[in-house]
Structures are given as C-alpha cells and as structure tokens.
Amino acid sequence: LAKTTQPISMDSYEGQEVNITCSHNNIATNDYITWYQQFPSQGPRFIIQGYKTKVTNEVASLFIPADRKSSTLSLPRVSLSDTAVYYCLVGPNSGYSTLTFGKGTMLLVSP
Amino acid sequence: DVKVTQSSRYLVKRTGEKVFLECVQDMDHENMFWYRQDPGLGLRLIYFSYDVKMKEKGDIPEGYSVSREKKERFSLILESASTNQTSMYLCASSLVEAGPSFGPGTRLTVT
C-alpha cells in the first residue's frame, strides 16, 4: 500500500479556505485517494474520494495532479466545527479494501 | 446512509476477562473491519472480513480473534484482556468498491 505524508497540524480562521496536501509518491495505477474527517471520540467519517483531476461534493473538493503523486483536500470557508483530524488514504478500490490510516492532519479553526 | 452500530460506547473490564465487542451494519456490506486507535499511533487494523466466516489478519492481530457468522455482524474477541488493550476500538464496513463507514467506537478500559 502506498505510504502517505501529510502535515501534522494546520491552523486557520473561520471563513478561510483551507488546503491540506498529501504526498503519495508510490501510488499505484489502481489506487484511489480517499479523505476522512474525525472528531474526538468519534469514528472517522468519509469526506471525498477521487482517482484523478478534480472531484467536488457538498463538503469539499479534491485536486489530483496528472502524476497523482500528491493530492489536495480543499475545504471552503471553514467554520469552528471543521476543527478535526483529516486523514489521507491511498489504496485499491477493488477486492477487499484495507486502507491504511496514517497519523492525519489536526486542523484547528479559530474565531 | 450506512449505519454501523457498536454494542457499547464505554466498557470497563478486568485483566484476564474475556471481552466481546459487537458490531452490526445495516447495508449488506461485504467487508467489515476492526481497528484500534491510540494517541500518537493513529488507526491500526486488527482484523477484517470479506465474507461470512472469512477473516484476514490485519497489522496487529495478536491477542484478538474475530467471528463473522452473519453478514451484518462482526465480533471482536479479547480472549484474555490485558491493560495494553485499553484503547478505542472502531468497527467499519464497506462495499467492495468503496471506502469504509465507521461506527461510533467503543472505548475499552482494562484495569
């Protein structure tokens, strides 16, 4: 499974756009990129998944360059409730999935 | 939305006890997983199952066993609980081609 590297922590203010970048240099051809959000004492929650280019949903956007060796999760206009740990995962999306979670990025949003 | 439920949010057990953690999902998912989460170590996969009565070891299976007699239910068993098994335990389920959905977690304390 491809290893991922992301910042340990990030700080932001309410209303700002936050971009969290994840490096995955050894991504395989059949790997997808998935992001999760986790609040304290809760299970991780799926945010978004993509394979290439750009994916957008009601919560976030995911930008993946052509070489797929990195990806950027973009959270528009964050609020205090977006304070959480964000995990970037890379793995195959067929067969049984055993995504490996790294340490994640702790995002702190301040007023 | 997929609902993954875990039998307890908080559990306190004594060293040497046999402990059962139950997980149920309501969306007919093929895959089910057990993770543990510890500060500084992130989420680590204990076991996963891709079908009834099928199981595979994850990264840290020692001291644990699992049971999947029905598709919707996946049990984690601590044969003889030890203090180093004090942790947050997270169950998840997924379709073959999707990232896992997590339950709320069980915080287990072994004294």
Q: Which residues of chain A have a CB within 8 Å of the CB of B58?
A: 98
**Is B105–A99 a contact, with Cβ atoms under 8 angstroms apart?**
no
Six token digits for residue A47: 């945010």
Six token digits for residue A15: 């209303």
Cα B67 to Cα A8, B28, B53, B54, B76: the distances in Å are 36, 17, 7, 9, 7
Q: What is the mean pLDDT of residues A22-32?
A: 90
* Residue A63 burial class via C-beta count within 10 angstroms: exposed 0-12, middle 13-18, buried 19 and up: middle
Residues of B with CB under 8 A from a CB of A: 4, 30-31, 33, 35, 40, 42-45, 48, 50, 56, 58-59, 88, 90-92, 94, 96-105, 107
CB atoms within 10 A of CB A23: 16
Which residues of A, range 23-62, sit inside 8 Å of B by Cβ? 34, 36, 41-46, 49
Q: At a CB cut-off of 8 Å and minimum separation 6, what does A41 contact?
A: B88, B105, B107
B66-103 pLDDT, tens digit per residue, is 999 999 999 999 999 999 999 999 999 987 666 788 99
CA B89/CA A16 separation, integer angstroms: 34
More confident position, A69 or B94: A69
Distance from CA of A4 to the nearest CA of B (A): 13
